[in-house]
């Protein structure tokens, strides 16, 4: 156990014995001290060992949506949407497509984007990453604060450039395509031509881009797709375009059907970017909407795919999907899955209609194993002893890049509480990591706050849906409490007094699908459940709304003075 309080009022003999006085944590009015943070997954679908020569889907579990992938030599890189979390745009690396390691973020500083005051599901939407002629290009959207922009880097781990803004390019989900004649194109989702014919009627547009002038060419905008595969059926939310060239054909792969259970991936092709794109008669090439809802361990909402070609000519697709409980609920957000792409009659196929996405599949052949990296799938354990000088890349903050309120001293994490709660649109004093399992356990140990602030564990979906398991002291009496935000301001569910001498406490959250439990324990004592089992479904997308998954982390909050 780490020392919670330094020696105080030491005698001269104790000083000679080597006990050095230092400022006790409780002398700071608003400083919370955390000793470690532990997370572990316990999903039944991951319990059986993966057979040699197979891999586990999802390849990146938890809130890693809208994946885009590129290759440089034997290395593969992915980027995903990050919405209002900072740092933004996580970059993952692999050499075998199935074992992925988080190596950094493309958005790492305030000079790049401004997301202050945003709701959690705004901010950074679906990106595209491409490698071309020695440079990585990343194009994406910051919703509400500037629109579409490009970042560049020579090292995908960073640093990445400041944005090249594209004010003419409206909408979301931009793609950048480098043709073999040297021309560069940007395609994106945008308003349909003329007036929208129905709710969700959108279009895919394309511009030519000048990489020297760092701007789209005036008057180069053209319509690629109006509405979707078949406008007469009123398809909704055609988006996430990606263009590829294969065997003389230009292929356009898009998402269609919205982000819920009607989601899909569809494909179009053309011999020339100046000619109309023709939809495939066998669309969609990926969906799970045609499967029975009561199937076991359902994978749902599949779509939003991106392709990569391997050195030997193989094609593979990464795409988003979700692992649901009770047919339609998921707290983990949209995850990244992997499947091979086959070609038939010059059309790409990911998954036949009526077939379930497999949890296990044979690995891509001929690639270099990267099993030595930190895994992002399976029932792994993850622990942070806070023994570094900076946060690990797994940690996220909300909205702003400021970290002046936290400090890692090589043995502990110290957080200065803010007068901002988890229900605020400002940046709270909170760091969180993704919930990557339907069944999980997370815990921490911290100094019992003695000042006018609280500290503890948070299970956070958004400003209106979250739990806060905290500790505070009033009138010299410490107690542990549980707050719930369920579509309104947070309210106290229950609390429990602690012994006045309690200096350090452990906190734990256990989640299992739609239920969630909260615990506390003295340093060497047994776990005690605080209150009854609570409703975990409020942390699901179906209840909370939006596009993110649950994050789990530590928080400190200034409290109002106790009423005399």
Here the tokens at position 265 are 């991936």
- Separation of alpha carbons 498 and 504, rounded Å: 11
Helices then strands, counting H and E runs in the chain, come out as 2, 41
**Pairing relation of β-strands 249-256 and 239-246?**
antiparallel
Count Cβ atoms below 10 Å from residue 233 Cβ, excluding itself: 9
Distant-in-sequence, close-in-space partners of 194: CB < 8 Å, separation ≥ 6: none
CB-CB contact of 96 with 373 (8 Å) = no
Q: Is 239 annotated as catalytic?
A: yes
* 385 in catalytic set: no
Q: Is 420 helix (H, G, I), strand (E, B) or coil?
A: coil
Tokens, residue 191: 């308003």
226, 203 contact by CB (below 8 A): yes
**Of 285, 314, 280, the residue nearest 302 (C-alpha):** 285
Query: Choosing from 43, 96, 173, 239, which is the catalytic residue?
Result: 239
Q: Is residue 267 within 8 Å of residue 343, measured between CB atoms?
A: no
Which SS3 state, helix, strand or coil, does residue 216 take?
Answer: strand
Angular region, 493: left φ>0, alpha ψ -120 to 50, beta rest: alpha
Specify burial of residue 142 (Cβ count, 10 A radius: 0-12, 13-18, 19+). Answer: buried
Distance CA 555, CA 471 (A): 11
Calpha distance 503→483 (Å, rounded)? 22
Those residues with Cβ within 8 angstroms of residue 110's Cβ, 6 or more apart along the chain or in another chain: 400, 401, 402
Alpha carbon 292 to its chain's center: 28
State how far the Cα of 258 lies from the Cα of 263, in Å rounded to an integer.
Answer: 5
Contact predicate 336/316, CB 8 Å: no
Give catalytic residue positions.
Answer: 66, 239
């Amino acid at each position: 156990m780490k020392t919670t309080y330094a020696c105080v009022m030491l005698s001269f003999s104790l000083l000679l014995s080597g006990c050095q006085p230092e400022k006790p944590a409780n002398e700071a009015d608003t400083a919370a001290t955390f000793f470690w943070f532990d997370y572990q997954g316990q999903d039944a679908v991951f319990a059986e060992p993966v057979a040699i020569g197979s891999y586990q889907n999802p390849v990146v579990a938890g809130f890693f949506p809208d994946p885009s992938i590129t290759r440089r030599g034997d290395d593969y890189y992915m980027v995903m949407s990050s919405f209002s979390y900072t740092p933004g745009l996580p970059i993952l690396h692999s050499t075998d497509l199935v074992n992925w390691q988080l190596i950094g973020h493309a958005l790492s500083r305030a000079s790049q984007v401004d997301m202050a005051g945003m709701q959690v599901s705004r901010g950074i939407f679906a990106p595209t990453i491409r490698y071309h002629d020695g440079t990585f290009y990343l194009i994406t959207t910051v919703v509400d604060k500037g629109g579409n922009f490009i970042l560049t880097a020579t090292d995908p781990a960073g640093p990445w450039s400041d944005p090249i803004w594209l004010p003419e390019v409206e909408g979301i989900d931009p793609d950048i395509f480098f043709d073999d004649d040297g021309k560069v194109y940007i395609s994106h989702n945008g308003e349909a031509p003329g007036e929208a014919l129905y709710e969700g009627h959108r279009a895919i547009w394309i511009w030519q881009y000048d990489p020297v002038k760092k701007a789209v060419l005036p008057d180069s905008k053209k319509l690629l797709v109006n509405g979707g595969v078949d406008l007469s059926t009123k398809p909704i939310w055609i988006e996430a375009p990606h263009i590829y060239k294969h065997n003389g054909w230009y292929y356009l792969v898009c998402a269609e059907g919205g982000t819920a259970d009607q989601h899909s991936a569809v494909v179009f092709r053309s011999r020339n970017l100046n000619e109309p794109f023709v939809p495939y008669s066998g669309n969609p090439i990926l969906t799970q909407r045609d499967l029975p809802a009561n199937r076991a361990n359902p994978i749902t909402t599949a779509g939003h795919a991106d392709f990569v070609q391997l050195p030997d000519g193989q094609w593979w697709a990464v795409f988003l999907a979700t692992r649901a409980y009770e047919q339609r609920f998921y707290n983990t957000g949209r995850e990244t899955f992997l499947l091979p792409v086959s070609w038939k009659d010059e059309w790409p196929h990911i998954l036949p209609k009526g077939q379930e996405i497999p949890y296990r599949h044979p690995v891509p052949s001929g690639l270099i194993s990267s099993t030595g990296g930190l895994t992002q799938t399976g029932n792994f354990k993850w622990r942070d002893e806070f023994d570094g000088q900076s946060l690990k890349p797994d940690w996220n903050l909300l909205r702003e890049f400021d970290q002046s309120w936290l400090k890692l001293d090589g043995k502990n994490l110290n957080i200065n509480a803010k007068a901002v709660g988890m229900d605020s649109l400002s940046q709270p004093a909170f760091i969180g990591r993704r919930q990557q399992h339907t069944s999980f356990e997370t815990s921490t140990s911290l100094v019992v706050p003695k000042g006018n602030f609280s500290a503890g564990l948070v299970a956070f979906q958004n400003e209106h849906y979250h739990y806060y398991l905290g500790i505070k002291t009033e009138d010299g009496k410490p107690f542990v409490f549980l707050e719930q935000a369920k579509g309104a301001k947070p309210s106290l569910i229950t609390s429990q007094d602690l012994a006045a001498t309690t200096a350090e406490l452990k906190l734990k959250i256990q989640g299992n699908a739609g239920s969630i439990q909260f615990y506390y324990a003295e340093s060497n004592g047994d776990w005690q459940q605080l209150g009854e089992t609570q409703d975990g479904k409020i942390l699901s997308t179906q209840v909370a709304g939006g596009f993110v998954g649950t994050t789990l982390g530590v928080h400190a909050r200034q409290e109002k003075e106790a009423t005399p």
